[in-house]
Amino acid sequence: MALYISLMRLTQKGLEDLKGSPARRKVSEKRVAALGGKSLAFYATLGKYDFVQLFEMPNNASMMEYVLAARKDGYVDPLILPAFDTDQFGEIVESLLADKAD
């Protein structure tokens, strides 16, 4: 499964309904599961972003569907970053270096 990091900022609507944030988190996890994914970690953070979440999703299309639903709700403005674990990154680097050796 593909990994994604979501950096989220609360919108004005999200700030105005801060009390509902825990319930929306449960809705989010159900949406992710319905798309075949899993929320691996979720943190509230200080700084430019209010939340960071790590997902496993089957593919980009599933992640896009999730993001569009979240944006449509209007409580957060997410920035999605595809993520690569160390093994995947190593394979990419090896492939790149092998191409240069030819």
Quote the pLDDT of residue 42: 95
pLDDT 10s digits, 46-59: 999 999 999 999 99
| Range 9-34 average pLDDT | 94
Quote the pLDDT of residue 81: 97
Quote the pLDDT of residue 98: 87
Which class in CATH covers the domain with range 2-101? Answer: alpha beta
Concatenate the DSSP letters of all residues of 7-28 into one string. Answer: EEEE-HHHHHTGGGHHHHHHHH
pLDDT 10s digits, 75-102: 999 999 999 999 999 999 999 998 666 5
- Please give the Cα distance from 76 to 12 (Å, whole number): 9
Quote the pLDDT of residue 102: 58
Quote the pLDDT of residue 73: 94
The answer to whether residues 52 and 42 touch, using CB atoms and an 8 Å cutoff, is yes
The answer to whether residues 57 and 35 touch, using CB atoms and an 8 Å cutoff, is yes
Domain residue spans in the chain? 2-101
- Please give the Cα distance from 94 to 102 (Å, whole number): 13
Residue 16 in tokens: 């105005």
